Chains A and B, each alone.
Chain A
Amino acid sequence: MEPSLFTITDQPLEPDSIMRQVVRSEAGAVVLFVGIVRKFTAGKRTLYLEYQAYESMAIKQLQRIGERIAEQWPGTRTAIAHRIGRLELSEAAVVIAVSSPHRRAAYEANEYAIERIKEIVPIWKKEIWDDGSEWVGDQRELTRYPVGSPKEESTCD
């Protein structure tokens, strides 16, 4: 059986194998997005992350994102995998691969996918710091970085 295009797993993600799921002879481009665990968020140093999902519904919502992409960018093929459980720094949390005959559609559809994941897919992230932890409660990171990207603190490390 062909592996599913939309998956939730507690195992390390393999971007290359997810990309291969969407490669086909009609495609001239694949855009591969890999979301990885970042050390600094809003100036706080993350030790590791814990992801939790409402797994059955999350898979359905990922499939819906895939259906919407197929409608909006005809000729594309999409695969999405999201990891749950404990993730260390720089490990991949999400991989999105979109192939299309030409690159523009693949870029656009890939960005649409990650934005929708942050809105409608029931997955939650907990940041664990050396002095505490918190479930991240903002859907689109709009309020976390009011002035741009997170700053590194020179006093750390």
Chain B
Amino acid sequence: MNFPTIVTLALGLVLAENLVLSQGLGVRPMLNAPARLAHGVLLSALNGVAVIAASLVSWVLNAFVYAPNGLELLQTPSVVVCIILFELLLDLLLTKLAPTLRETLGANLHLYTLNTATLGAALVLTGSTASLGEAAIASAAAAVGLLLAALLFHSLRSYHRFTDHPRSFDGLPLALISAGLVALVLTGFVF
């Protein structure tokens, strides 16, 4: 795989095929993101790590175990188990190393590790990538795309505090509509 292909693949997954804004995966964590930007970015980064881990495990299992034996159906539960183990490991590490941070994150840790973005990315990328390296690059790009979406959602939310919108659009409807407009902008990158 040459350099231009890698760049196209990565940029495509960050902008044109952004996990959240173009593929509609993992919207709930974005909508429920904490008010502090640092927490939001940290949780999205964790989500990104989960996406990478899930994609790689899913790719390896699919290539060497499931596809040769016709067991593709088992991909979903295996990714779920993998992410649960990742979450337990993370929980253990954070409880040992940064107990205050763990307490602050609370149940959000689960929301940000085991969500539709993680499983969706693992399933989609396993189907669309040809090699393990390609899957690694694609999942890393997808993780960066998650961070970008988290930043966009945060800035939109902080902007909404000052807008004069109808009360019936307060909250979820406004968040969705503005996310839709951003997604419409990102479709400009489809080439």
Decide whether A and B are members of one complex: no
Residues in chain B within 8 A of chain A (CB atoms): none
Residues in chain A within 8 A of chain B (CB atoms): none
